[in-house]
Structures are given as structure tokens and as C-alpha cells.
Amino acid sequence: MEILDTGIEDLLVDLKPLNKALENANFVLASQWDYERVTYDYKVGSPEKNITYYIRIQGYAVEGDVDRGDAVIKLMRPLLGKHYYPHGIEYGENEEFPETLVKRSTNIIENIKANIEPFAK
């Protein structure tokens, strides 16, 4: 599910302060990065058996190189996904998400926005 109206989509941010801000918010730079893209995941526990939710923030380099650490990242719209063990994460429109989870996710992203906006280009 796309998390709408967060204000972070299309922000341009240097990689180093972006990494720091997301690390401070307990996001993990996922191993899906490459020279042009970054993916950050935040694990949200659930009382449902074998289900974990994830907030995912992705971006891609518009300048520089992620591997060298000198990239300027353009952020994309954040996603909320549901992990089904052992199959993987689903972000589809047909997924149901508790309203409290959506609100919590929005609040987390609003806090991130406040922390990265001073570094936005």
C-alpha cells in the first residue's frame, strides 16, 4: 500500500544525512541497494501469528553514486507491506491494514520528514 500525502516523495537529500536520519528512526538500509538505489525498511510487530508489517522508503540517485556515498537521493512514495511467512512481503492494493497501523506509519514518516527537510535540496 502506498502511504499518501507524506511530503517526502520527490525530496532530494544527500545520502549521508538521509542514512543518519533513517538509522536514528530505526530504519535499516536493506541489502537491496545498488549503485543507483536505496531501500530502507522499518519492522512493525503484529499480534497476528506469522505476520509482520514493514514500512519501506525507497529512493534513487539523481547525482553521484550510492556505493561511494556521494549520491543525492530522490525519495519515492513510502510503502506499507505485510510479510507472510514464508512467502514474502505483499504491498498490493488488496491487502488490509489496521487503521492504527496506517496512522502509526504516517506519524513515523512525518517525523522522518522533519529530520530530513533541513538537508533537502
List the domain boundaries for the chain.
12-119
DSSP sequence for 44-107: E--SSTTEEEEEEEEEEEEES-TTTT-PEEEE---EEEEEETTTEEE--TT----HHHHHHHHH
Residues 15-42 pLDDT 10s = 999 999 999 999 999 776 677 999 999 9
Residues 65-104 pLDDT 10s = 998 889 999 999 999 998 877 777 777 777 888 899 999 9
The larger pLDDT score, comparing residue 57 to residue 33, is at 57
**Which residue, 16, 117, 31, is CA-closest to 65?**
16
Residues 6+ apart with CB under 8 A from 99: none
Domain 12-119 annotated CATH 1.10.3210.10: no
